[in-house]
Structure 1
Amino acid sequence: MSIRLLSETIINQIAAGEVIERPASVVKELVENAIDAGATRIEVVTAGGGKNLIRVTDNGGGIPADELTLAVSRHCTSKLTDDVHDIRALGFRGEALPSIGSVARLSIKSRTAEADSGYEVVVRGGYLEGPRPTAINRGTIVEVSDLFYATPARLKFMKTDRAESTAITEVIKRIAISFPQIRFSIAGTDRSPLELPATCSTGETVSEAAMLERISQVLGTDFSGNALALDSEREGVRLTGFTAIPSFNRANSLHQFAYINGRPVRDKQVFGALRGAYSDVIARDRHPVGVLFLQLDPSHVDVNVHPAKADVRFRDPGLVRGLIVGTIRHALAQSGIRPATSGAEAMLKAFQAQGFESKDFSASQFDMPQRSSGSFTSSPARNWQSASNYRPDAPRQEWSPQTAHPAQRPLHLDNQPAPRYEQAGFGEAMQATISQFTAPSADSRAAEIEAPVELLRAPLGAARAQIHANYIVAQTEDSLVIVDQHAAHERLVYEALKTALEAKPMAAQMLLIPEIVDLPEEDAERVVSHAETLERFGLSVERFGPGAVAVRETPSMLGEMDVQQLIRDLADEIAEHDTANGLKDMLNHVAATMACHGSVRSGRRMKGEEMNALLRQMEATPGSGTCNHGRPTYIELKLSDIERLFGRR
C-alpha cells in the first residue's frame, strides 16, 4: 500500500481523539480559553449531558475579527512564545478549537472592547464559514452542538446524560478552586443550576480567607472547620493550600485537588505524596482531603506530556514529594489535638429521639416516677435494669447508703490509706493495685472523680467517668468529650516507639552468609545510591559486581524475612518515587502492631488520675486524634449541641 498525505479533516479528527475525549473535555478547553482571555465571569450552559449543546459565555478580552479564522486553525495560539518550556497560560497547543470543529458544529461569536460590533465564525465538520458581523457584548460566546456527529462511532462510548453532566460539573469545580476571583455558573436542562460567586476582586492578591471560602464552595462548608493551612518553600518550589485533619476523610480520592502554577492536574506523584503524608494516621481504605498549590519555575516542570495536560513531569520529583510529605506532616504535628466536626454531627443524629417525634406517642402515655418536693426517690435499682421490670405499684423508698443497691453504695476503704500516684501510669501492674479493693462498677465511680477547675480549660478537659470499661467521659468548659481509651493509648505508644526508632540507628542483625540479590543494572544502581539511608534502618547493602547487590545486615525488628523480595520492592519504589520509605513503613507497621498489643485494653477499669494523665498525654502528642488504624480516638460534642438536643435552643 502506497503512502499518502491525510486530509486536513482527518488530521483534525485524529487530534480530536486525543484532546476531546468526552463533553467534559470540551468544557475544560473552552473554560481555560476564557480564563486566559482575562474573564471575570464565565457561564456554562449544557443540554443532553453536553452531547447536544455546550455554550460557554465569558466577558474576557475577545478575539479580533481578523484573528477569528486563525483561532479555529491548528497550531495557532497567542499563549506561547518561541520557548516551549516557558508556558504561563492554561492553553498553549492551539489544537482545542480546530479539534472541536472537526467533530461537532462549532460557533464562535466575539467582540473586543475597541470594536464597534462583534463577529462570528462557524465550523461544521471541519469546514469554515465567516467571519460575519453579529450582535454581542464585549467578550466571547462559544457554542458547540451535536458533539461527535461527524464521528458517530464515538457516541457509542458516551455515558448517560447524568454521568456526563456530573463530569462537566467536576471539571468546573476543579478549575474554579484555582481562580477565586472569577464567578462561575452552570445551568441547563440536564442539571440543577450551580453558582460559584467570586470570593475576591480581580487584581488583588488572593488572601487565605478568600481561597478557603472558594474551596468551601466546592468541598462543602464543613471543610473549613477541619482544614490546616500549608505554606512552605524549598529550593525554589513553594507549596501552599489546605489539607484536612486525619479524622476528616473520605471513601474515595475525588476530594483531592492539585495545581501546578495554577493549572489543575491529576498527577500520580503529587497524589502519592499526599497519601504518603497520611500513611500512619488514616485507615488504608480511607482517603485524605486536601487542596495543594505548587509554584515553581515553568522550566522545572513539563506540562507538555499529554494533550489533556493533566499529567506533568518534574525535573526533581524527589524534591516535590519530600516537600509535600514534610509540609503536611509538620502541619499535622503543629495542629494540636482537634476532632473532626463531622463526628459531632453523626453523634447528634445518633442521639435523635425519633420515637418521641411521632404523633402516636406522648409523654402522658408513660407512667414515669415523679420527683418529690424533697430528695429524689426511686424504686430499688434492680427494678430499673430494664423497662419490663418496672412496676408502677412498687413501694418507693428514700435513698440511703443502707438501702441502696451495692452498685450505688459509696466506696469505703476500711483501714486502708488511699493510694498516692506521684505519676499515673497505664501498665498492667497498676491494675493489680486497683483490683485489691472491692470497688463498685465504673459507672457508679463517675460521681467520685474530682479534678481541679483548671483542667476544664484544657483541650480535652477533666475526666468525669469511665463507661463500659472502655470509654472515658471528660468535661471541658463548653463541651463533652468521649475518648476511646484503647485507641488513644495505642496512638501514644506508637508515637513513642517511632520517636525511639528515629532517635538512633535501627538495631541490625548480621547475616551469617550475605544474601546476593540479582537485579537489572539500573535497579542495582538505584538501591546502592540509597545505601546510607537504608543503613539507618538496619539494612546494609553494597554492590556485588554488575547487576547485583549484597545484603549483609537486616533490621532485627523484622526477624526472619524474604530479603530478595524486600530489595526488589525497594528498587521498584525508588524507581517510581526516588525514595526508600518502604522499609521505614515496614518498621512502622511492626511498631504499630506492638503498640496495639501493648496498650491499655478494652475492659480495663481506670482510676481518675490515670484517665486525666491519658488525656494530658493525648494533648501533648501529635496525631493523637486518630489511632494507628485511622479511627478517631475521641469525639467532642459542644454544649450548644447538647442543649439543642434537649430543645433548650
Structure 2
Amino acid sequence: MGIIRQLPPSVINQIAAGEVVERPASVVKELLENAIDAGATRIDVTVERGGKDLIRVADNGKGMSVDDLPLAFTPHATSKLVEAEDLFRIATLGFRGEALAAIAEVSRVRCQSRQTDSAIGHELAIDFGVASPIKEIGGPEGTVIEVRNLFENTPVRRTFLKSDSTEAAHVSDMFARIALAHPTVRLTFRSSGKLVHDLPAVTGVKERIAVFFGQELADSLLWIESQMDPVHLWGYVAHPSQSRSSAKGQFLFVGGRFVRDRSLGHALSEAYRGLLMVGRLPVAFLNLELPPDQVDVNVHPTKVEVRFRDGPRIYSQLLATVRKTFLASDLHSRLQAPPEQGTSATRPLDIPAPTLPVSPISAESTSKFRLEERTPDRQMVSSWFSSGGTPNFQSFPTPGYAGGPTQPEWARNLPQAVPTQNHTQFDEFAAEGVASGSVEAPAPETGSNQEPEAAPPIQARDILPEGLPTRALQVHDSYLIAETNEGMMVIDQHALHERILYEELRDRVRRGAVESQRLLVPEPVDLSAAEAAAVLEHRELLGSLGLEIEPFGGDTVAVTTTPTMLFQVAPDRLLRDLAEHLRSSPLPPTRDAILAELLHMIACKAAVKAGQKLSPEEVAALLERRHLVADSHHCPHGRPTALVFTKSELERQFGRLG
C-alpha cells in the first residue's frame, strides 16, 4: 500500500498560514492591501494586544457581493487573475488568493461587506476554518474584517509571538509602509484603545515621513526624480548627516508595494560612498513606476521580494540620479542650537542626539550647542573653551588678498585639481548617462503622488575665490575657523587635506600621471603568506598608485618604487598597511572600488594630522584649494570636513533676533 496521501484542506491552509501569516503584522498587511485593491479612500485599522486578540480593518471600498463573500475565503480564489499569463502583468497588490483562507484557518474571522449599488450587506463568520451561514445586515458601503484570537488553535505558533508591545510595534511599522506607499488614502490606526495615527489624504509623501520619522529628517530630505523609459524613479534621499546603522531606513516601493532589493540597496550605498562613516547606511524613500511586465512579484508568498527584467539599468539609473542630486545640493554639516528648555524635538530613526560636553567656564552657554554629526577621534569643539589653557589662535590673511601668503612648497608639489563632477568610481558611468540625456536632472514633482519642490541649481557651495574668508584661525593645531558670507565655518584640517589629496591623486591615477620615486636599493618586506598573495594579486593596481613591487622569494616582497607624495612614510610600513587592508577588509567586488579604498587609505596617511601646527602658507593653501575639489564637504571616509554656523543662528544665540 502506498504511503503518499493528499493532505486535507485544513492542513494545506495551515501550511500556507505559516508562509503568509507570520505574525499579526502580516495579517494587517494582507487586509490593508485588499482594501487598497478594492479602491478604498479611507481605511481604519484597530488592534488589541498587538493584534493577538483583535485586528479590525474597515474600508469604504467597492465591497463584495453575497456570491463573492464565501469565495474570498476559499484557497486560490481571486478576482485579480484569470490565466497564467496574468502572473507576468500584475497591477494589483494581492493576487495569490491564499491570504484570507490562511488567516481564517488560524483565527476567528468575521467579514461584513456591502456593495455600493446594494441596499443591504452580508456577514460571514468563520471559526478556525469552519464557516457559518451568511447573514443579511445593514451597514455602510465597503468591507469590515475582524480577526480575533490569532493562532489560538495552533498554540505552538502563538508561543512564538513576542510581547504585546513588540507585536504592536511591528503592526505600526507595517502600517507606516502602507501609509508611505499610498499617501492619497486616509488612514487611521488605533492600538489598545488609543488613537496612534490619523493621517489625512495628501498629495505627497513628505508630510507622512515627518509624522513617522520626525520633522528633522523630513527637513533634511532631497527630492530626486528621473525618467528612463519605461522606468520612472522619484522620491527622497536624506542628507548624509541623517543615517542609520541598518537598512531599515530605506523604503523602496514598486507599483505601490514595499519591496526589498539588494541590488538597489547597493546602488544607494554606492551613491553615498565617501559621504557616510563606516557602518552607517543611508535613509531613502523611493518609488519605482514601471510596466507590470517589467517586474516579477511572484517570487515569495509575502510579495516583498521582486525581480526586475532589466535590473542593471535600474541600478545605474538610481545611482546616477542620486549622485546628480548631490551635485546640486549643499551637503555641509551644520551646527545647530537645540530647542529651548521645555520643548522637545523628535529625532528620526535610531540617530542619537549628541550634545557637546559642558565646559567649566560657561556651562549655560556651551550646553546650548550640539553637533548634528559627531566626528570621532577628533578634539571636541567645546574644548576650545576649557580651563586647561588658552587656545593657540593663529590669524592668517587669506590667499588672493593684499598681503596674503604664497603657496607652500608641499602644496606646490601637488597637481592642480580640476573641478569635476565624478564623485566616485561609478560616477563616470552616471555622468555619461546624464550627458546623453538618459537621466534627467532633478525636477519639481508633478502628479498626484508628488509635491512641487524645485531642485537647486548646480553651483559651487564651497568657499569660492570671490567669496573667500578674510581671516582664518587655527585652534589647537587641529581646526581652522573661517568667516564666510553666510556666517562662520569650522574646518577639520586633516579631513579637508585628506579630501584634497584623494581627489587630486584619483585624478592623476585616471590620467596615469602619478609621480613616483624609484628606490636606489629595493627594500624587502616580510609578510604573511596571505598578505603576500594579496599584494601580488593586486600588483598592477598598486603600480597605478606609484607603488611598484616584485616577488623576492617565499613570503617576501620587494618594494622598488614608492609614491612621491608619501615620501615621509617608510616603504615597508606602507606596504604592510596596504597588505593588511587588502587581506582583512571586506573589499568591494570591482577593481575601481578596490582602487577607491586604497586611495582613501593613502590620502589619509599623507594628509596633515590633527595636532600638527601649520604655517600661514599651509593654512592659506588649504583654503585656496578647497573649492577646487569635489565633495569637499566630506572626507573620503564620510566625516565632515567643515561645520557651518550661519549668521542668523549666531545672532539668535546672542539675543539679537527674537
- Per the normalisation by structure 1, the TM-score is 0.70
* Residue 116 (structure 2) pairs with residue 113 (structure 1): yes
Structure 1 residues 129 and 538, CA gap change in structure 2 (3 angstroms): farther
8 Å contact 1:458–1:476 — kept in the other structure? no
8 Å contact 2:332–2:642 — kept in the other structure? no
Q: Deviations over 1:470-511 (max 9, x none)?
A: 11222334433212121122112212223333446999xxxx
SS at match of 2:182: coil
Q: Deviations over 1:71-120 (max 9, x none)?
A: 11111222234321110011111111111000011111111221112211
* Residue 641 (structure 2) pairs with residue 625 (structure 1): no
SS at match of 1:193: strand
SS at match of 2:502: helix
Q: 1:249 corresponds to which residue?
A: 243
Q: Deviations over 1:267-320 (max 9, x none)?
A: 222212222322332222111111121222222211100000001112232222
1:274-423 to 2 correspondences below 5 Å: 274-339=268-333, 349-350=355-356, 421=405
* Residue 183 (structure 2) pairs with residue 180 (structure 1): yes
Deviation at 1:460, TM superposition (A): 8.4
Distance in 2 (alpha carbons) for counterparts of 1:301 and 1:198: 28
8 Å contact 1:64–1:112 — kept in the other structure? yes
8 Å contact 2:239–2:331 — kept in the other structure? no
Structure 1 residues 47 and 629, CA gap change in structure 2 (3 angstroms): same
Q: Which amino acid aligns with 1:291?
A: F
Distance in 2 (alpha carbons) for counterparts of 1:410 and 1:161: 61
8 Å contact 2:393–2:474 — kept in the other structure? no
1:547-586 to 2 correspondences below 5 Å: 581-586=589-594
Deviation at 1:47, TM superposition (A): 0.8
Q: 2:32 corresponds to which residue?
A: 31
Q: 2:170 corresponds to which residue?
A: 167
Q: 1:45 corresponds to which residue?
A: 46
Q: 1:89 corresponds to which residue?
A: 92
Structure 1 residues 590 and 129, CA gap change in structure 2 (3 angstroms): same
Q: 1:60 corresponds to which residue?
A: 61
Distance in 2 (alpha carbons) for counterparts of 1:5 and 1:498: 65
Q: Deviations over 1:407-445 (max 9, x none)?
A: 89999xxxxxx9754557863999xxxxxxxxxxxxxxx
Q: Which amino acid aligns with 1:350?
A: L
Distance in 1 (alpha carbons) for counterparts of 2:393 and 2:236: 50
Distance in 2 (alpha carbons) for counterparts of 1:216 and 1:30: 25
Structure 1 residues 505 and 44, CA gap change in structure 2 (3 angstroms): farther
Structure whose CA Rg is larger: 1
Which stretch shows the higher mean deviation, 624-633 or 16-25? 624-633
Distance in 2 (alpha carbons) for counterparts of 1:598 and 1:192: 57
Distance in 1 (alpha carbons) for counterparts of 2:276 and 2:496: 14
Q: 1:473 corresponds to which residue?
A: 481
8 Å contact 1:60–1:139 — kept in the other structure? yes
Q: 2:526 corresponds to which residue?
A: none
- Per the normalisation by structure 2, the TM-score is 0.69
Q: Which amino acid aligns with 2:11?
A: I
SS at match of 2:190: strand
Structure 1 residues 180 and 410, CA gap change in structure 2 (3 angstroms): closer
Deviation at 1:211, TM superposition (A): 2.8
8 Å contact 1:456–1:476 — kept in the other structure? no
Q: Which amino acid aligns with 1:315?
A: R
Structure 1 residues 310 and 643, CA gap change in structure 2 (3 angstroms): same
Distance in 1 (alpha carbons) for counterparts of 2:199 and 2:183: 9
Q: 1:530 corresponds to which residue?
A: none
Distance in 1 (alpha carbons) for counterparts of 2:653 and 2:149: 54
Structure 1 residues 26 and 386, CA gap change in structure 2 (3 angstroms): closer
SS at match of 1:350: coil
Distance in 1 (alpha carbons) for counterparts of 2:543 and 2:32: 49
SS at match of 2:88: coil
Which stretch shows the higher mean deviation, 588-597 or 322-331? 322-331
Q: 1:543 corresponds to which residue?
A: none
Distance in 2 (alpha carbons) for counterparts of 1:178 and 1:109: 26
Structure 1 residues 171 and 238, CA gap change in structure 2 (3 angstroms): same
* Residue 103 (structure 2) pairs with residue 100 (structure 1): yes
Distance in 2 (alpha carbons) for counterparts of 1:631 and 1:455: 19
Distance in 2 (alpha carbons) for counterparts of 1:157 and 1:215: 31
Q: Which amino acid aligns with 2:240?
A: P
Q: 2:258 corresponds to which residue?
A: 264
Deviation at 1:20, TM superposition (A): 0.4
1:212-231 to 2 correspondences below 5 Å: 212-231=206-225
Distance in 2 (alpha carbons) for counterparts of 1:128 and 1:485: 73
Q: 1:427 corresponds to which residue?
A: 411
Deviation at 1:617, TM superposition (A): 4.3
Q: Which amino acid aligns with 2:189?
A: I
Sequence identity percentage:
36
Which stretch shows the higher mean deviation, 321-330 or 284-293? 321-330
Distance in 2 (alpha carbons) for counterparts of 1:149 and 1:616: 71
Deviation at 1:39, TM superposition (A): 1.4
Distance in 2 (alpha carbons) for counterparts of 1:626 and 1:146: 53
8 Å contact 2:177–2:258 — kept in the other structure? yes
Deviation at 1:32, TM superposition (A): 0.7
Deviation at 1:220, TM superposition (A): 2.0
Distance in 2 (alpha carbons) for counterparts of 1:211 and 1:294: 14
Structure 1: tracts of 5 or more residues without a match: 201-209, 359-384, 390-404, 412-417, 431-453, 508-533, 540-554, 574-579
Structure 1 residues 196 and 619, CA gap change in structure 2 (3 angstroms): farther
Q: 2:421 corresponds to which residue?
A: none
SS at match of 2:145: strand
* Residue 509 (structure 2) pairs with residue 488 (structure 1): no
Deviation at 1:52, TM superposition (A): 0.7
Distance in 2 (alpha carbons) for counterparts of 1:33 and 1:301: 20
Structure 1 residues 599 and 269, CA gap change in structure 2 (3 angstroms): same
Structure 1 residues 283 and 347, CA gap change in structure 2 (3 angstroms): closer
Structure 1 residues 387 and 280, CA gap change in structure 2 (3 angstroms): closer
Q: Deviations over 1:141-163 (max 9, x none)?
A: 11111001121110111111111
Q: Deviations over 1:227-249 (max 9, x none)?
A: 22222233533322111232321
8 Å contact 1:27–1:168 — kept in the other structure? yes
Distance in 2 (alpha carbons) for counterparts of 1:407 and 1:323: 49
Q: Which amino acid aligns with 2:176?
A: K
8 Å contact 2:393–2:473 — kept in the other structure? no
Deviation at 1:48, TM superposition (A): 1.0
Q: Which amino acid aligns with 1:482?
A: V
Distance in 1 (alpha carbons) for counterparts of 2:125 and 2:465: 69
Structure 1 residues 640 and 190, CA gap change in structure 2 (3 angstroms): farther
Q: Deviations over 1:369-408 (max 9, x none)?
A: xxxxxxxxxxxxxxxx99799xxxxxxxxxxxxxxx9989
SS at match of 1:280: coil
Structure 1 residues 81 and 156, CA gap change in structure 2 (3 angstroms): same
Distance in 2 (alpha carbons) for counterparts of 1:275 and 1:406: 39
Q: 2:232 corresponds to which residue?
A: 238
Distance in 2 (alpha carbons) for counterparts of 1:135 and 1:266: 41
Q: Which amino acid aligns with 2:490?
A: I
Deviation at 1:608, TM superposition (A): 6.7
8 Å contact 1:225–1:341 — kept in the other structure? no
Q: Which amino acid aligns with 1:487?
A: A
Which stretch shows the higher mean deviation, 495-504 or 220-229? 495-504
1:492-571 to 2 correspondences below 5 Å: 492-503=500-511
8 Å contact 2:411–2:621 — kept in the other structure? no
Q: Which amino acid aligns with 1:254?
A: K
Distance in 1 (alpha carbons) for counterparts of 2:113 and 2:311: 42
Structure 1 residues 424 and 36, CA gap change in structure 2 (3 angstroms): farther
